[in-house]
Copies of this chain bind each other. A is one copy, B any other.
Amino acid sequence: MKHVLPILFFLLTINITAQTDEETLKTIYSTSLTNGKSYEWLDYLSNQIGGRLSGSLNAEKAVVYTKEELEKLGLDKVWLQPVMVPKWVRGIKEYAFIESSSGITTTVNICALGGSIATPIGGVKAAVLEVKGIDELIALGKDKVSGKIIFFNRPMQADLIQTFEAYGGCVDQRYAGAMEAGKLGAVGVIVRSMNLRLDDLPHTGSMTYGNLPNSQRIPSAAISTNDAEKLSGMLALDKNIKLFFNQTCQQLQDVQSHNVIGEITGSEFPNEYIIVGGHLDSWDLGDGSHDDGAGCVQSMDVLRLLKESGIKPKRTIRVVLFMNEENGLRGATKYAEIAKQKGENHIFSLESDAGGFTPRGFQFDCDDEVFAKIESWKALFKPYLIHYFEKGGSGADVAPLKTDTNVVAGLRPDSQRYFDHHHAANDVFEHVNKRELELGAATMTSLVYLIDKYGI
């Protein structure tokens, strides 16, 4: 037996070397769809661990679990990179109701936005001022805003085909609404959930107070789209309605957490790094299956699929599971800082953080020359219905790795259902389709294979 294994290995190597790129991609996709691990990993992360808010026990469980799973893959190196992260906790379930001028109350579904302060003990009740955005709020001025609960109710634009564009056109209300309303003396902010569907689920997400003094910081919550419609409709009939809401969330001291990193060291150019990643933290309302459990397990499987497909990379391929994308980006910042310190040349960094849906392609943040090279591979992806190669964004966690020469990129899955689940209680495992997830992992692996083989 002693002599047989090396010969088998040799034959395997020959075989892979002789493969065309078409054949290698076929192997990668076929392996992912028949022998992928991404779905099994996601099942554990979602159903055995659950939501993984930075600083939480679950986030630490996810660090331990994914490190252990990477160690089982026989990579050249697996380690944890320490990073201090913010710890915000939601407290007891939020509660809110509308009170008509005749005193009739109607419960509505809200959740505190990540980073918000609590309401005063016992909650806050005030008249409601509905606005469509921050400009409108500022134009109304202190006299009209002071003492009110500001209701930001600009919906996501339904006729934009890419739902991330619709999100981009709305999210300022959530992120900066409370800061701007606080400056004008408002007592609270309620933001329409970033959701294209009409349903009953409030969608959380990050917000900021900037440098506002504590005295001007006001509590901020998201309201479900159905209840935003209800509140708006009731306001149209009765300007004197009030809104009550109560939340007990708080920002605690930073705690230590980790990025989880594994690598296959390159055989020819070990200091040229190609990284794939997602973020291991999630919001706390669901189990974070789409955002971003999917991106984590796909990235883990990229390294495994390369090995399973018999590919021995020339460059160093790293998976990085970033901690704290959702409310601080501390993991990504730390990773980029250390990479710079060590002089690691990250030639290509790819993130999957747009859900585990059917992959459509990639966006690349790079110059025209590099893009032309990458685009020349597009035809190889046609059998897999990957058609979208565009210049533009990348991913929040890989963006800090961008330099004049280093490329950052993002996987682009179908986006139609993403905001139905984003940051809400229904971002759960059952809404991830196994094949769609596996196709994403294979698509990422295929691109990594090509970049490793041909360089940037």
Contact = CB atoms under 8 A, between A and B. Distances in A.
A385 B34 CA distance: 28
Given A158-B435, A384-B161, A416 B358 contact: yes
A78 B15 CA distance: 63
A360 interface: yes
A94 interface: no
Given A159-B29, A358-B358, A416 B439 contact: yes
Nearest to A32: B159
A159 B385 contact: no
B158 A34 contact: yes
A387 interface: yes
A358 B161 CA distance: 11
A146 interface: no
A134 interface: no
Interface in A151-197: 158-159, 161-163, 196-197
Contact of A434 (B197, B387, B436, B439): B197
A30 B435 contact: no
Contacts of A414: 358, 414
Contact of A387 (B358, B387, B439): B387
Interface residues of A, number: 27
Interface in A115-130: none
Contacts of A453: none
Interface string A414-447: 1011001000000000000111100100000000
Contacts of A417: 433, 435-436
A196 B433 CA distance: 11
B385 A161 contact: yes
A33 interface: yes
Interface string A1-41: 00000000000000000000000000001100110000000
A79 interface: no
11 contacts: A29-B159, A29-B161, A33-B158, A158-B435, A161-B384, A163-B435, A196-B435, A358-B414, A358-B416, A414-B414, A416-B436
Nearest to A161: B384
A298 to B, nearest CB: 15
A233 interface: no
A30 B161 CA distance: 9
A30 B162 CA distance: 13
B383 A385 contact: no
Contacts of A158: 33-34, 435
A416 B435 contact: yes
A436 B159 CA distance: 12
A358 B360 CA distance: 11
B358 A159 contact: no
Given A414-B414, A416-B358, A33 B159 contact: yes
A44 interface: no
Closest 9 CB pairs of A and B: A387-B387, A30-B159, A33-B159, A416-B435, A33-B158, A416-B436, A34-B158, A358-B414, A34-B159
A388 interface: yes
Contacts of A434: 197
A196 B34 CA distance: 11
A360 B385 CA distance: 9
A220 to B, nearest CB: 28
Contacts of A416: 358, 433, 435-436, 439
A411 to B, nearest CB: 15
Contacts of A34: 158-159
A201 to B, nearest CB: 14
Given A29-B161, A161-B439, A385-B387, 6 more contacts: A33-B158, A34-B158, A416-B435, A416-B436, A416-B439, A420-B433
Interface in A366-413: 383-385, 387-388
Contacts of A30: 159
A414 B434 CA distance: 14
A33 B416 CA distance: 11
A94 to B, nearest CB: 26
A163 to B, nearest CB: 8
Contacts of A385: 161-162, 360, 387-388
Contacts of A436: 416-417
Contacts of A439: 161, 416
